[in-house]
Structure 1
Amino acid sequence: MMIDQLVDWRVSGVLLDIRGHSEAASACTLARIAAPAVSDMAGSGVESTVTIVRPDGTPSTAATTDGAGGLSRWDQLAGRGPTSRALGGRLTIILNARALDKRWDEYQATLRAAGFRSAFAVPLPLERGYRAALTLYTAETNVFTPVVAAQALAFSDVAAKSLALALQVRAGLAQSADLRAAMASRTAINTACGVIMGQNQCSYEAAFQILTAASSQQNLTLRDVAEGMLRALPGGVPTTHFQHRT
């Protein structure tokens, strides 16, 4: 069952409806849902970012505020903060404005400069080579207590499943669009070859070679050459069954 931010996400089996026209759109929707959800848990204002790294390594960060977005992007590029650790599959919680671990000194200074005092990041397990992280920020200290952290982790589990589904749906739609384009291209080429075969009394292979030569000479794709030839015919380019359905 798909839900939006107005429905209690704690109900077993529900998913957040974060489907979008792009990966970035889904990430933006998730970030906008996460901030008020965790703010209610913590009793304090929380900003959020969702960072997605595509299989080719290209990152995309969606944020509820510019400050949170800039901090997560710095973290991801520098590799020295909770977002980068979460993208590597590790959970990080910073509870106070100061951290005893000296490895966090640079990050703590950057965190304070952005107007925040506490941060929480959690990996969002995805599939097909994608990586993602949900990072939460607040201007207060000691906000991400063990109780709040546990609730945020429960939310992140729903968020990860919802994001994985949104990416799967988008991939399916993209694959369907690619298939329709390929079928349309193949239909035009095959029809043009049929015309050439009739005009020249030759085989399909010979007709295809003629079409390929024209494509090379005109510096156009095979589909463009084929459709140009068909447009010159009385009936024009034939409409296919799958074009009627789209």
Structure 2
Amino acid sequence: MKDTVAASDPHRESVAELLIRLLASEDELGSFVDELAFMAAAEIGQDSQVSCGIMLVRNRRSTIVCGSDDAARRFEDIHTYLGAGPRVEAKKTGAIICVEDAEEEKRWRDFMEIAVLHDLRSLVAVPLDIDDTAQAVITFYAMQPHSFGEPTLSAVQRFVEPVKRSLRVAVRTARFAEAAEHRQRAMESRTVIDVAIGITMAQAACSQDEAVTILKRASSHRNIKLRTLAGELVNSLGQPEPITPFTE
């Protein structure tokens, strides 16, 4: 790959447009990261020889790993399988990792030996500190050595700044959506449990506290969740589970 970059700098506008599409279309976070990887490869690469992989790690959430093409996804999978390599090092140290020639690179030999078999020759891995709950690494892969000289590396560093900001907003948007979904489920569970308590009070001619105790004891005895038991009790009377009206 020829180590030149375009004089114009459309990165900010492109990332902003992508973020607007995310917010407007309510895409899932994984879809956003996948599209971001595709756009990043197109922005940095001067031809199809540059691929991009993005790994997003969130607290208490599944790690998202996306790639702009099959090659990027393959190299990301190798990182994940080995638990070692430039991407892993970038995340661990917070430093940009550049490999000029994978065939000559002495570090992470297990990764390099496998990656070279799949035609990888050079890469640059850039860590992104998203917020207190998330970290990411964006890695550019090339099939020719010395593909990330000073001009291209500078372009990468400029590009990742708006990428980091867009990921920060996307992560926060996803977190708010997940919290809303959690509240929705909690309210739905509470509603069906309340109905089951009422049914138990009527059937056993007991107080609310006594009905709660009866249901909890039955839940523990059958080793099932209280919400599941409540749903079964409501359904046993031939009634559908109640729906809780809920809007944000």
Q: Shorter chain as normaliser: what TM range? A: 0.7 to 0.9
| AA of the residue aligned to 1:9 | H
Q: Report SS of the residue matched to 1:125.
A: strand
The residue aligned with 2:234 is 230
CA distance in 1, matches of 2:221, 2:84: 54
Using structure 1 for the length normalisation, give the TM-score.
Answer: 0.77
CA distance in 2, matches of 1:175, 1:236: 26
Matched, 1:202 2:206: yes
The residue aligned with 1:155 is 159
Alignment partner of 1:94 out of 88, 99, 103: 99
The residue aligned with 2:11 is 9
Question: Offset at 1:127?
Answer: 2.6
Question: Offset at 1:198?
Answer: 4.0
Using structure 2 for the length normalisation, give the TM-score.
Answer: 0.77
The residue aligned with 1:38 is 44
Contact 1:27-1:62 at 8 Å conserved across structures: yes
CA distance in 1, matches of 2:33, 2:13: 22
Q: Map 1:1-246 to 2 at 5 A.
A: 8-11=10-13, 14=16, 16-17=18-19, 19=22, 22-40=28-46, 45-55=49-59, 59-78=63-82, 80-88=84-92, 89-96=94-101, 99=104, 102-103=106-107, 108-231=112-235, 237-242=241-246, 245=247
Residues 150-170 of structure 1: CA deviation (Å, up to 9, x unaligned): 111111111122222222222
Cα distance change on mapping 1:147 and 1:184 into 2, 3 Å: same
Structure 2's unaligned 5+ residue stretches are 1-8
CA distance in 2, matches of 1:217, 1:108: 55
Residues 77-96 of structure 1: CA deviation (Å, up to 9, x unaligned): 54553212222211012234
Structure 1's unaligned 5+ residue stretches are 1-6
CA distance in 2, matches of 1:215, 1:229: 11
CA distance in 1, matches of 2:204, 2:103: 82
The percentage of counterpart residues that share the same residue type is 26
Please, what is the CA RMSD of the aligned residues?
3.3
